[in-house]
Amino acid sequence: MRIIIKTLLIVSSLVTVYFHYINNISSEIQYDIYNDMNAASYKEETTARFNALSLDFPDLSLTTLPIKGLVAKYYYLGAQYSKALDLLNQSKGSNPYIMYNESVKSEIFYKLGVLDSALIYAEKAFTGIPNNQKHYLELSRVYLATGNYSKLDSIFKIVEKKNRPAIWNFYLASSLTREDSISDYAKEKAKEALKKFPSSDLYSRIKLTSIYILYGKDQVDKSIEFAELGSKYFDEENYRLAAKYYGDAANLNPLEYTYYENAGISNFKFGYYEESIPYLTYVIDSLNPMTGKSEFVLAQTYAALEDFEKACEFIYASSNFDYSPAYPLIGDYCSMAQNEKSIKTE
């Protein structure tokens, strides 16, 4: 009996050691796969390593992805689409709730141009986990490719409250490239997007796309042309023409504060002080970039008009945004404003 127990313990220990060994080898290969995928690099030596290993145990990766699904994704990276699909079909029972296999299948079929199958699996993945950013992006891409434009709005409504810049950016870009007319809903979202994600790396792209949606690409591109002409004339110190072209640019794209600001500065430089005020005031009251520059030039404008009370008000406002050129002028403008008050009370 003791011999049997000892034998069982030895066998059990050997099995445990073997399973630990297999797990360790699998972990090393997974590490290589992740590194290769992050570098968008497919290596035959990596495939040779996992081909020599059973993919049935362990069946889940260290990050709970199906092992066969992970390897299939690696095959996809190497354009080995048949091998990838074979593994995915074998992997249906491994952690099916995360919809990883469906997501990879959608990618493969999209790459192959089999859009009806890409749509089926993209919808399955998104329906299973709609809050997964990748699932949303894949399904949006397929809807765009298949002309299901109205559904772009429908699925965005499900995920928009997550406020992820990549999702907003893709939705707006897809709305701009759809072949039918841009929906009113997309235009509403474009207005919202202009107030979101100011610190995101994608903000400049989101802003430009939103402006294209609201005013049309041709009109916005024309405004850019006018602004470039304004800059050309400003550099040549032809401030009157600079003001004209910056003003034309602002009329075509009323959401770009620099056009108004530069029109105001150009008029100020030309000595058209009264004409500069509406442009600078619009920047401050309506667009509010909070740089302090428009406040600074407006203070100078009122000083030139000898309205030092307002000059003092706006030079202080400029300094509140830490606009450094404002600091040396606070004493001058505000002391002049105080003198004006004294004269009025005498």
**pLDDT, tens digit, 9 for 90 and up, residues 113-125:** 999 999 999 999 9
Average pLDDT over residues 256-278: 97
pLDDT digits (tens, 9 = 90+) for 53-79: 555 545 666 566 787 888 888 888 889
Q: What distance in Å separates the CA atoms of residue 318 and residue 12, rounded to the nearest whole number?
A: 77
For the cut 90, the answer to whether the pLDDT of residue 93 exceeds it is no
Question: pLDDT higher for 37 or 200?
Answer: 200
What are the DSSP calls for 145-212, one per residue?
HHT-HHHHHHHHHHHGGG--HHHHHHHHHHHHH-SSPPPHHHHHHHHHHTTS-TTSTTHHHHHHHHHH
Q: What distance in Å separates the CA atoms of residue 209 and residue 194, rounded to the nearest whole number?
A: 10
9-13, 140-144, 292-296 — which is least confidently predicted?
Answer: 9-13
Average pLDDT over residues 242-268: 97
What is the CA angle 213-159-38, rounded to 5?
A: 95
Q: What distance in Å separates the CA atoms of residue 167 and residue 137, rounded to the nearest whole number?
A: 7
pLDDT of residue 115: 97
**Which are the contacts of 233, defined by CB distance < 8 A and separation ≥ 6?**
239, 241, 242, 245
For the cut 60, the answer to whether the pLDDT of residue 214 exceeds it is yes
Question: pLDDT higher for 244 or 337?
Answer: 244
CA torsion, ordered 87, 88, 91, 96, to nearest 10 deg: 160
Question: pLDDT higher for 29 or 261?
Answer: 261
Question: pLDDT higher for 345 or 328?
Answer: 328
Q: What distance in Å separates the CA atoms of residue 338 and residue 330, rounded to the nearest whole number?
A: 12
- Pick one of 3.40.50.300, 1.25.40.10, 3.40.50.2300, 1.20.1300.10 as the CATH number of 219-345: 1.25.40.10
pLDDT of residue 11: 46
Average pLDDT over residues 88-114: 89
Would you place residue 1 in the very low, low, confident or very high pLDDT band (cuts 50, 70, 90)? low
Average pLDDT over residues 173-182: 83
pLDDT of residue 72: 85
Domain ranges of the chain: 15-96, 219-345
pLDDT of residue 244: 98
pLDDT digits (tens, 9 = 90+) for 118-146: 999 999 999 999 999 999 999 999 999 99
**CA atoms in the 13 A half-sphere facing the CB of 51:** 10
DSSP single-letter state for residue 285:
I
Residue 332, Ramachandran bin (φ over 0: left; ψ between -120 and 50: alpha; else beta): alpha
Question: pLDDT higher for 243 or 83?
Answer: 243
Q: What distance in Å separates the CA atoms of residue 287 and residue 257, rounded to the nearest whole number?
A: 6
8-12, 189-193, 312-316, 333-337 — which is least confidently predicted?
Answer: 8-12
For the cut 80, the answer to whether the pLDDT of residue 2 exceeds it is no
DSSP single-letter state for residue 26:
H
